Amino acid sequence: MAQTQDTDDLDERPSKTRVKRDMLALQALGEELVALSDERLAGLDIPDDLRDAVREAKRITKHGAQRRQLQYVGRIMREVDPAPIRAQLDALEGHSRAHTAWLHRLERWRERLLAHDEALTELLAAHPGADVPKLRALIRNTQREQAQGKPPKSFRELFQVLRELIPETPTAGEPS
């Protein structure tokens, strides 16, 4: 009877390969934490000892020492539930993807405004509070700058006006 108890315990324990894979996954999560900027790291809800170890890993420049520090971060991560940390990192990544998509949408609007006259009408229909004379002047000046090979001052200013005009969250009727 004692032998069957021992074999059941062996079956329930994870294999060495599984344990090592889990430790490497935690260390990789720690590396993602090290790659974050100081501001984003400060915004995460993580234990203080983990935050200190991550900051120390950011400070270290020697390869061997940095590798050992990352292993230490992974060791600390074993005592912490990684799911909330992963969720916070995914939320940060999702936000920056949405922000990048918004910037791309603004660039497409700018290119459409410069290429097609009817694009201004579409923009005004989607955003009636726009300053029409300013937009027309910026479009005209940008086209003149591009034709004459001048620095893109109005081109940049047009983008800034679009940033103020178009909200970061897309609205239902707005073409992307």
Q: Which residues contact 108 (CB under 8 A, 6 or more apart)?
A: 176
52 and 13 within one domain: yes
For residue range 116-164, list pLDDT tens digits in order. Answer: 989 999 999 999 888 999 999 999 999 999 999 999 999 999 999 999 9
List the domain range (segments joined by +) for residue 59: 2-80
pTM of the model: 0.50
Q: Total structural domains in the chain?
A: 2
H or E element, residue 80: none
For residue range 82-104, list pLDDT tens digits in order. Answer: 888 888 888 887 767 788 888 99
What is residue 171's predicted lDDT score, i.e. its pLDDT? 46
**CATH of residue 154:** 1.10.60.30
Cα separations in angstroms, 97 against 34, 87, 172: 20, 15, 19
103 and 45 within one domain: no
